[in-house]
Structure 1
Amino acid sequence: MINYLKQLARKYSTNKRTSVALVVLTCFVIFTFHLTNIKDDLLPEGFKFEPFSNAKADEPIDKPLSNFRPPHKGHQNGDVLVSDFPANKLLIIFPSSYKVANLKDEYREKFGSLPPGAEIFNYHQKNKYMASPFSDVIFSEPGFQTHNLEVFNSHRNIDSDMEKCNSIKENISVEASTEVELTSRLADVLDKFRQENSPYYQDLVPFIGKEIDEQLAKGSVEEYWFRLAGSSVWLEQYGVHYMISRLVYSRNKVKDKPFVSLLYVQLFDENWNELRDVHLILPSNDPSKLKLAKPEIQDQIHYKEVKFPSILPVAHYINDKHQFYGPEDPRILLVKNKLGYEEPTIFFNANHRKISEIVDDGEGSSTVKFDHFRSMFMCWPWQYQLGKVNVDGLSDNKYDYNTYNRVHEIRRKALDRGATQKNWTPFINYSERYENEDSDRFVYFIYRWSNLEILKCQLTNLVFDKPSQCEFVYRMDPSLALDFGVGAMRGGTELINIRQLLEENYQNGVSQLKGVLMKFPSEREIWIGFPRAHITDCGCGSGMYRPNLAVITKYRKKFKVHSVSSFFSLGVDTIGWNPNQPSSKCDGLNVYIPNGVSSWTIRPTSNGNEIEDYMTMSFSLSDATCHIIHIRGLLTSLLNLDKNSTDRLFESPTINPEEFGFNNENLDCAVRNSEEFCRLYGEKFNPPKEEPEEEPKEEPKEEAEEEAEEEAEEEPQEEPKEEPKSEPKQEPKEEPKSELNTHRRA
């Protein structure tokens, strides 16, 4: 039959249209013939070819591949997706920018023999727009439901009259999917950690080694260990979601009284399926050069093979006397470094110590006294350092030659450290990249939401044992005492730069954004994220935590909270604080905390005239879970925000935007309505009991502990133990008062 079609094509070659049609028909028949004769061993397990004529009339031929992973050999255009492979397949992924003729030969030369059965490849896609953290499985998910958010703007002053809050309130709507819990078997995580027996694990053995052995033997790991505070970034060079979460170990089985916290990192494909055995070839550094005087010498790429999932060997201080050691409240951000690639950077708070005094005893020896602090740190999980003198305060041969993830303290310049620093909200100023040779040289933090304060901190040219220096670039009230309370709103996710979001999606093919970018005010920067408020005694237990949506703007040199929402839930149902009573939602704390914006993608609608946007937000419930939820239409709603205002968010103002909003009024309104949210929630899940006479209630334990923490944080406590300088291995016997029996939350 094929030969007959070829003869027809030659016979009627004088008629160009007929000839072209016959050639196309010939190609189709040949393709169909070969497809129907493919050997079974070339097809994926369970796959059976059926002719196109068997497709149902109302069913598209190209269906979302929710239950079927095609083999990478089937890609005709050379594209490779991580989801093409089984989740338990050993994958070795080079960055897409790593160009060599033969990856297998390159691997053998740089890293040794290729593991048996491993798939080795570059991640890439021809159409960059399609190289998205979202797949069609998520785009086509049917379970999105509409939710309304109350947003309070800064377009007019209401003279602190809370009865006028409605005059600055707008309602926006978004759609949200059903939340997804990303679970992990903690016994498997710890067993793998123990079997790998890394130097970092050996560091922890004197403190928790026997306890891990006993818990694994008895099957009691889940009683002592908790996982929470997951946040992630999309690695475009590798086609994976890179998620870090906090592993908490509590000797007394109380999750908010941990002895130590560790950081756990996992990879997920674009469908949010966990990848259980992946090696990434990551650009890294030479840790032996970190202690050199000239920081620029460090700036050379050394590729390193890193296995996932794994526990990160983060440098942190620890002893066996008290609790709250290791990284807490981790948040992650993609930063573009001076070498031209994006790398994840983690921000957390941790206990560490610094020498306060060295006393000479007059007999040829001396003793060392320490102060202890809970400070902010940043960590580069793709970079490394030798030893951990920068967190321990002294050199120690036990640790000096071990390799740890590189960390730096972040400190306010020319100010005391303060006993406790935490809940700083990180963000990047995208417009500064143009001024800094297409790299991020500074990271910004919202230090305080109420009475807005912004810090600008070094990212580059750091000296190994010196903190990153931070300066206040904006203080709404310069006369405010630096130890003044932070207010109800704090922490939450990182902030996303909207100019960066729009420009990168426009460059990736979303031409519908051109009009928005043309109107974008040149002197304005916009960031969007999700802080969380903590409201106490509002009608549901001792306190409630929920996300709030916030829009931060910078006009010239001034920052302000442009818009902020009251509490919202997006249909997520919380669980009780007590793990043994998950349905008791108002017994103790009621906790739903946003941890990160995993991704935000824009694409054209099906008619090509408009856009739709998809965001993934990660969050934790009751300090015991890692969840994600997909949000559709947030950018679209924000584009239509304040449409009747003379100071529209995405357009040049017709008034001086410096005249309004430099106060706490919209924040106060948001907190006020959040209190009402809590009261109504409490009425639903904790109805008041009818009693003849109300007995005085004892103050909730968690709240009392939190107040004790605030009091203890007023000044750092001196380490009472005197440690001989010649004996750096000896550990102090006491911790500062501020680190004892306090209530810690993510």
Structure 2
Amino acid sequence: MLFKGTGNRQKLLVALSLFACIAVTLVLYHEESDILDIGWKKKPDYAPGTGLREKSRKVLLPLGSQIPEQVLRDHLRGTSSEHWESFQLPEAEVLVTPPHKPGDFKIYDSLLYAASPGATCAENEHKFKLGADDSQHMALNQSRVFEIFFDEADTYDDSYNQHLRGFLEEYMTENKEIQHWYRFSGSSVWLSDYNVHLVVSRMILSKTGSRKNPEISLTLAQIFDELWQEVPDVRVVFPSNTVENAPGFRVGNQDYHLYRFPRFLPIPFPFKTKRKYWGSEDPRVTLVRSKQGHEEPVVVFNAYHEHQLDTGEGIELHGFRSIFMSLPFQVQKGKQIEGADTDQTRDMWFTRTKQLHVQGEQDKKVEKNWIPFVSGAGAHHEHVLMLTLLDPLKIITCELWTDNGICASETSTNDDSVSPLRGGTPLLSIKTIDSEDTEYFAGIARAHLNDCGCGHDFYRPNLIVVSRKGKTWSLSHVSSSLDLGITDLLPSPKSRVCEQDSVIIPNGIEFWDLDRDLMSVYVSASDATVERVLVTGLLQAIEDSMVWKNNETESLLDTVKCALESSREFCRKFGIEDFAAFEKANEI
């Protein structure tokens, strides 16, 4: 007899009950997760790769470079990385996109609206489902950032760190680093030459401890391995531009520069101790390819600066918040920003940076929320496109590799009114039709709504599709608010989300695996975190809405109007659900 006595029979019943529960759970999970099969041609990759241990305290060399070991050793002599091993990725191990292992997807409903003259919102909507896994917080060891900051200033003669040291040093001590520093607004690109993620985020210093009144905003760069683990201390060698007497070294006809990560990117900005809000804000990063075949990051941000204007009654100094573009893998001598350089900084080295202007237009007092993107056509990029307004659509094209900051208009609108729908992630090219000279781009913008049912300010992501046919651009599709499963931070456990502003902002798309319809999105919650979430179902929604067959270029305002109306309804329902959840959690 296999089972003896009452105890064994009870164990059998328990086992059978558990089996039944598991079976039901699996069935329910399968029903909820049908979206995982949408458009996927193969299952997600997840290869261990070289991993964290192989890259920490190493000098990473670019793919295919032939740098003599002695040249590297001579350059690093006397630094903390003098004896670090060099590591170069074998070409056979290059990953075009990083390995990704999604967790359990939660399913959310949304609506996508297409441009169609004369149609009502109801006739214009396409219902779809998206899946989002649990978001992952991108770690930061702040003490290590500061430790490397000082060490590079002392042993590597890093002029940028030396330049900022006097102002920052007091607030980099153990008892002040938590009270005065905040990090958020992160985005990332995958550097396939090294098989690493370059994560860029905003880090602010507030002497008073108030995150709303920072003195300085810096751009922090971190390296994560293919498993999304931060590489705690690593030096990266990258091909750079040629500038006389630049730090770094030269091999043949190629100049190389080196950064040790994590670090503040040496982005130049004007600085006066009696003012606040200096430095680079809201960085967005995307990838471009040079003529030499190198992939390089481009960082676009806004920054405060001062400009002399002739008012007719004399020369006056006026403050502006303008858009700048930096090439982190290239260098320049001096800040090269009006009124920013001193005798000391003119001999210092910074990231190659230029202010961007729109040809034929006067600079505005405040310019923010530009979205960078590049065409998927061609072997390399000579220009970067900027989506400066979504509603009405305004796109400009800017030179990449020159010092010319004058950008040409691609669209003819003269309406500069500010819509609730505005900047977000860089756009990605998702489809080209060469025979029709047509290209489609997609990304995630954000809607800023006021008093819609949850707090005063309510920010949520919206999917957008931008198309170019010949020289004609259009905003062809806009979604309602997307629920990515990320929640705001609460000031206390008994607080409600909607007692305060509810802020979920998309900052970047590192990759979009179109074969699997899997997107890696970077999001900030409450302007206080850097989160990464994997999303599926967006490409299927775009395909199901027949974007490729939509040739309309008029009535685009109706598309935005429909999406914003639906987003306000999303906000209203969110507020009701938040209140119900709060009451239930506080029942006695």
Which TM-score bucket, shorter chain as reference? 0.7 to 0.9
CA distance in 2, matches of 1:286, 1:354: 29
1:118 corresponds to 2:16: no
Q: How far off its partner does 1:344 sit?
A: 0.4
Aligned to 1:665: 558
CA distance in 2, matches of 1:97, 1:155: 49
Q: Secondary structure at the match of 1:575?
A: coil
Which one-letter code corresponds to 1:461 in the other structure?
A: T
Aligned to 1:204: 164
Which one-letter code corresponds to 1:276 in the other structure?
A: P
Pick the aligned partner of 1:92 from 44, 59, 69. Answer: 59
CA distance in 1, matches of 2:72, 2:582: 68
Q: Secondary structure at the match of 1:440?
A: coil
- Residues 451 and 89 from structure 1, CA distance in 2 versus in 1: closer, same or farther, beyond 3 angstroms? closer
Deviation string for 1:417-452 (max 9, x for gaps)?
Answer: 111111111111233x3xxxx332221111111111
CA distance in 2, matches of 1:336, 1:120: 25
Aligned to 1:471: 408
1:676 corresponds to 2:588: no
- Residues 259 and 153 from structure 1, CA distance in 2 versus in 1: closer, same or farther, beyond 3 angstroms? same
Q: Determine what percentage of the aligned residue pairs are the same residue.
A: 27
Pick the aligned partner of 1:107 from 72, 77, 85. Answer: 72
- Residues 401 and 142 from structure 1, CA distance in 2 versus in 1: closer, same or farther, beyond 3 angstroms? closer
Pick the aligned partner of 1:615 from 497, 515, 519. Answer: 519
Which one-letter code corresponds to 2:57 in the other structure?
A: L
Q: How far off its partner does 1:89 sit?
A: 3.0
Which one-letter code corresponds to 2:355 in the other structure?
A: E
Q: Is the 8 A contact 1:87 1:273 kept in 2?
A: no
- Residues 268 and 620 from structure 1, CA distance in 2 versus in 1: closer, same or farther, beyond 3 angstroms? same
Deviation string for 1:38-76 (max 9, x for gaps)?
Answer: xxxxxxxxxxxxxxxxxxxxxxxxxx989xx7xxxxxxx
1:587 corresponds to 2:499: yes
Structure with the greater alpha carbon radius of gyration: 1
Aligned to 1:272: 228
Q: How far off its partner does 1:262 sit?
A: 0.5
CA distance in 2, matches of 1:176, 1:120: 38
What are the equivalent positions in structure 2 for 1:636-675 lying under 5 Å apart?
636-639=540-543, 641-642=544-545, 648-650=546-548, 657-658=551-552, 660-675=553-568
Aligned to 1:4: none
- Residues 403 and 455 from structure 1, CA distance in 2 versus in 1: closer, same or farther, beyond 3 angstroms? same
CA distance in 2, matches of 1:209, 1:356: 35
Q: Secondary structure at the match of 1:209?
A: helix
- Residues 264 and 580 from structure 1, CA distance in 2 versus in 1: closer, same or farther, beyond 3 angstroms? farther
Q: Is the 8 A contact 1:546 1:591 kept in 2?
A: yes
Name stretches of at least 5 consecutive residues in structure 1 with no aligned partner. Answer: 1-63, 70-80, 159-163, 291-298, 360-366, 501-518, 603-610, 643-647, 691-746
Q: Secondary structure at the match of 2:408?
A: strand
CA distance in 1, matches of 2:581, 2:53: 52
Q: Secondary structure at the match of 2:411?
A: strand
Q: Secondary structure at the match of 2:342?
A: coil
Q: Secondary structure at the match of 2:345?
A: coil
Name stretches of at least 5 consecutive residues in structure 2 with no aligned partner. Answer: 1-44, 247-251, 584-588
CA distance in 1, matches of 2:477, 2:450: 23
1:333 corresponds to 2:333: no
Q: Is the 8 A contact 1:88 1:276 kept in 2?
A: no
CA distance in 2, matches of 1:178, 1:689: 22
CA distance in 1, matches of 2:494, 2:462: 24
Aligned to 2:345: 399
Aligned to 2:50: 82
Q: Is the 8 A contact 2:496 2:582 kept in 1?
A: no
What are the equivalent positions in structure 2 for 1:115-194 lying under 5 Å apart?
115=81, 118-126=84-92, 131-135=95-99, 138-139=100-101, 141-158=102-119, 164-194=120-150
- Residues 416 and 568 from structure 1, CA distance in 2 versus in 1: closer, same or farther, beyond 3 angstroms? same
Q: Is the 8 A contact 1:561 1:661 kept in 2?
A: no
Q: How far off its partner does 1:340 sit?
A: 2.8
- Residues 439 and 169 from structure 1, CA distance in 2 versus in 1: closer, same or farther, beyond 3 angstroms? same
Aligned to 1:452: 393
Count of matched residue pairs = 529
Structure 1 window deviating more from structure 2 (222-231 vs 368-377): it is 368-377
Which one-letter code corresponds to 2:349 in the other structure?
A: T
Q: Secondary structure at the match of 1:683?
A: helix
Runs of 4+ in 1 over 6 A off after TM superposition: 687-690
Q: Is the 8 A contact 1:134 1:601 kept in 2?
A: no
CA distance in 1, matches of 2:494, 2:479: 28
1:531 corresponds to 2:498: no
Which one-letter code corresponds to 2:363 in the other structure?
A: R
Q: Is the 8 A contact 2:476 2:556 kept in 1?
A: no
- Residues 119 and 338 from structure 1, CA distance in 2 versus in 1: closer, same or farther, beyond 3 angstroms? same
CA distance in 2, matches of 1:676, 1:685: 14
Pick the aligned partner of 1:314 from 262, 267, 278. Answer: 267
CA distance in 2, matches of 1:688, 1:90: 47
TM-score norm. by structure 1 comes to 0.66
What are the equivalent positions in structure 2 for 1:401-416 lying under 5 Å apart?
401-416=347-362
- Residues 327 and 93 from structure 1, CA distance in 2 versus in 1: closer, same or farther, beyond 3 angstroms? same
What are the equivalent positions in structure 2 for 1:243-642 lying under 5 Å apart?
243-288=199-244, 301-356=254-309, 369-388=316-335, 390-393=336-339, 395-431=341-377, 433=378, 438-462=379-403, 468-475=405-412, 478=413, 480-481=414-415, 484-499=416-431, 522-576=436-490, 579=491, 583-602=495-514, 611-639=515-543, 641-642=544-545
Q: Is the 8 A contact 2:323 2:356 kept in 1?
A: yes
Q: How far off its partner does 1:165 sit?
A: 1.0
Deviation string for 1:514-568 (max 9, x for gaps)?
Answer: xxxxx77632110010000100111111111111011111112211111111111
CA distance in 1, matches of 2:179, 2:492: 11
- Residues 525 and 590 from structure 1, CA distance in 2 versus in 1: closer, same or farther, beyond 3 angstroms? same
Which one-letter code corresponds to 1:649 in the other structure?
A: V
- Residues 324 and 142 from structure 1, CA distance in 2 versus in 1: closer, same or farther, beyond 3 angstroms? closer
CA distance in 2, matches of 1:318, 1:108: 36
Q: Is the 8 A contact 2:63 2:88 kept in 1?
A: yes
CA distance in 2, matches of 1:423, 1:554: 21
Q: How far off its partner does 1:300 sit?
A: 6.3
CA distance in 2, matches of 1:620, 1:682: 20
Q: Is the 8 A contact 1:521 1:650 kept in 2?
A: no
- Residues 520 and 147 from structure 1, CA distance in 2 versus in 1: closer, same or farther, beyond 3 angstroms? farther
Indicate the structure with greater strand content: 2
Q: Is the 8 A contact 2:384 2:398 kept in 1?
A: yes
